[in-house]
């Protein structure tokens, strides 16, 4: 299982994990029985996917996540099969599932996300205490993914504060109110998309020429030391201090976008953990994210594809 005294450079935190169940069918039409292929089950949730991707990059992490019911046990089993160092935090309610179906006639993908069950206040306090008790606290903490329904978004602030108190660099990849709260608290790295950056800086929308100003605004007010703005197939832009780095994405055949953002975070973290440059960090992030879009269903990247894309960037 887990050993909280093992020294790891990276801690990933997933408060609303899931099991992704994926399949394919030849033609999706209403009101007919659709005969799907055998389903594939994979671990899911932001921080969990970051840890899975880090493992493929030969970077070790401690994977902390909530786990409940039969689905939670399945999630733990799937993660053990990938040889991750896991620390499941047991909660009362069942871990959620997501359902992904690909129409093999046109390669369209349909993604059905189910809400996570609430975590009680008692469980939230115990979860924070669990983080607090980690010895030899990792240098980098990745807090990624959504919150279960009914959990106050300000719980994220408490999680961030515990990690910062341990002098860990907090990397935040979330959305909505949780992202807003993370920006208010201040973290090491934020990864918004253009729409999220617009909302954070009070703009209805942002043109490419306005990205620099908006990112600089976040850095100046202490929301983050590093801001990485993802633009999907166009690539990503990294801002830090007064510097800007743009990395276009390679042209690939996109099969699925599931896990691409998490893979991008893992790529960046793998370089940050060995004190690589910002340029190397962004390049690896884009390569990993792009390589994951080449995978079918909910699969993450193949390492050989990452290496090929790195050579092309």
Q: Is 191 within the bounds of a domain?
A: yes
Bridge partner residues of 62 (DSSP)? 11, 85
**Given pLDDT bands bounded at 50, 70 and 90, which one contains residue 5?**
very low
Q: Is 4 within the bounds of a domain?
A: no
* Of 10, 17, 13, 268, the residue nearest 144 (C-alpha): 13
pLDDT digits (tens, 9 = 90+) for 179-235: 999 999 999 999 998 889 998 988 877 777 788 999 999 999 999 999 999 888 889
Q: What is the pLDDT of residue 297?
A: 65
The count of structural domains within the chain is 1
Tell me the longest C-alpha to C-alpha distance in the chain: 57
Q: Is 30 within the bounds of a domain?
A: no
Domain containing residue 225: CATH number: 3.40.1190.20
**Which residues fall within 8 angstroms of residue 204, CB to CB, at 6 or more apart?**
198
Q: Is 185 within the bounds of a domain?
A: yes
Q: Is 65 within the bounds of a domain?
A: yes
Q: Is 1 within the bounds of a domain?
A: no
pLDDT digits (tens, 9 = 90+) for 43-100: 999 999 999 999 999 999 999 999 999 999 999 999 999 999 999 999 999 999 999 9
Q: Is 289 within the bounds of a domain?
A: yes
User: What separation in angstroms does the CA of 95 have from each of 73, 87, 89, 267, 308?
Assistant: 9, 15, 11, 27, 36
Q: What is the pLDDT of residue 8?
A: 66
pLDDT digits (tens, 9 = 90+) for 117-160: 999 999 999 999 999 999 899 999 999 999 999 999 999 999 99
Q: Which domain holds residue 70?
A: 10-25+37-312
Which one of the listed residues 20, 85, 173, 262 is annotated catalytic? 262
Estimate the crossing angle of helix 303-312 against helix 278-293, to 10 degrees.
120
Q: Is 294 within the bounds of a domain?
A: yes
Query: Is there a catalytic annotation at residue 149?
Result: no
CA–CA gap between residue 253 and residue 279 (Å, rounded) = 25
């Amino acid at each position: 299982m887990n050993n909280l005294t093992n020294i790891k450079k990276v801690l990933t935190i997933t408060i609303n994990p899931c099991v992704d169940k994926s399949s394919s069918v030849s033609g999706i039409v209403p009101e007919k029985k659709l005969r799907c292929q055998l389903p594939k089950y994979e671990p899911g949730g932001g921080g969990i996917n970051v840890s899975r991707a880090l493992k493929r990059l030969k970077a070790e992490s401690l994977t902390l996540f909530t786990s409940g019911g039969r689905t939670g046990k399945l999630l733990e089993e799937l993660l053990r099969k990938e040889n991750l160092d896991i620390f499941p935090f047991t909660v009362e309610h069942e871990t959620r599932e997501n359902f992904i179906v690909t129409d093999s006639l046109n390669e369209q993908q349909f993604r059905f996300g189910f809400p996570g069950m609430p975590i009680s206040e008692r469980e939230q306090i115990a979860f924070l205490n669990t983080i607090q008790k980690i010895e030899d606290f990792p240098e980098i903490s990745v807090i990624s993914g959504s919150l279960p329904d009914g959990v106050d978004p300000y719980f994220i602030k408490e999680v961030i504060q515990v990690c910062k108190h341990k002098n860990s660099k907090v990397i935040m990849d979330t959305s909505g109110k949780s992202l807003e709260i993370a920006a208010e608290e201040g973290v090491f790295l934020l990864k918004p998309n253009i729409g999220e950056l617009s909302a954070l800086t009070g703009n209805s929308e942002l043109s490419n020429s306005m990205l620099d100003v908006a990112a600089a605004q976040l850095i100046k007010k202490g929301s983050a030391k590093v801001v990485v703005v993802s633009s999907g197939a166009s690539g990503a832009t990294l801002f830090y201090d007064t510097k800007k780095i743009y990395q276009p994405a390679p042209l690939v055949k996109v099969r699925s976008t599931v896990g691409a953002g998490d893979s991008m975070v893992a790529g960046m973290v793998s370089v940050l953990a060995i004190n690589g440059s910002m340029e190397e960090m962004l390049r690896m992030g884009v390569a990993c994210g792009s390589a994951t879009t080449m995978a079918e269903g909910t699969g993450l990247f193949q390492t050989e594809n990452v290496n090929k894309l790195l050579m092309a960037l």
